[in-house]
Amino acid sequence: MDDEAGQPDDGSWQELSLEELGQAYAHVVARTTPATAEDYTATDDSENPAEISGQNEATGFADEADATLASIIEGALFIGHTDGRSIRESELAVLMRDVTEADIKAEIGRLNDHYESNEQALRILRDADGIRLGVADDLETIRRAFYGKVRETTLSQGAVEVLSLVAYQPGITGEKVQDQRGKESVSLLSQLVRRRLLELKRIREPESSRTVSTYYPTQRFLELFGLESLDDLPQVEE
């Protein structure tokens, strides 16, 4: 989505890192208090998941009698990256001695031919970021039967700012969110509630019949960011 109001919640959203969330919060806070803007920094407590090529040196797996090139490729694709992104052939090549990207590509071709000739469901699929393990096109209806048709959307910068304010200040009121951003934020709060990233709670003020809307991160928010609790958020220090 490109506008502040956003779009209806009809699918998943593109992954947002904890570092970006912390930076968004620091940016909003600094913008609200320009005199101390330079004092706010987001520490990078959440490193990006290490790539396979960065974690593993050539191990000589291919020398093992029970570890063929095909089995290593299948195993690596089955395990995959922790962030769900595709794997590059170069990352697979460094897992084995004397194996090149060309060898990997050739073996992938043979594996796909084997899957198809034996009427297997698996396919090694390619996208802009690399390769991944998936199912054959004619079995896509089975995946949709379990997961539905997923449409990825992105959060606008405004939505990220609102999400960060609530994450770092759980129980914050809608009015305070709007004051800190200096912009209309009701529609963005509603959007994030629809997406089950935020929870709306109405609190009755003491000695008054007036209720105040307060917002909290949801369990889904924690799960999507891989957090045990809000205490695990990257610290934004003064």
pLDDT band per the 50, 70, 90 thresholds, residue 96: confident
Backbone angle region of 111, left / alpha / beta, with phi > 0 → left and psi within -120 to 50 → alpha: alpha
Structure-block tokens of residue 175:
């009015």
pLDDT score of 34 more than 50? no
**pLDDT tens-digit profile of 46-65?**
334 333 333 344 344 444 44
Fill in the amino acid letter for 113.
D
Length of the chain as a residue count = 238
For 110-167, write each residue's pLDDT tens digit: 999 999 999 999 999 988 778 988 888 888 777 667 765 545 567 889 999 999 999 9
DSSP bridge pairs for 87? 131
Confidence of residue 14 (pLDDT cuts 50, 70, 90): low
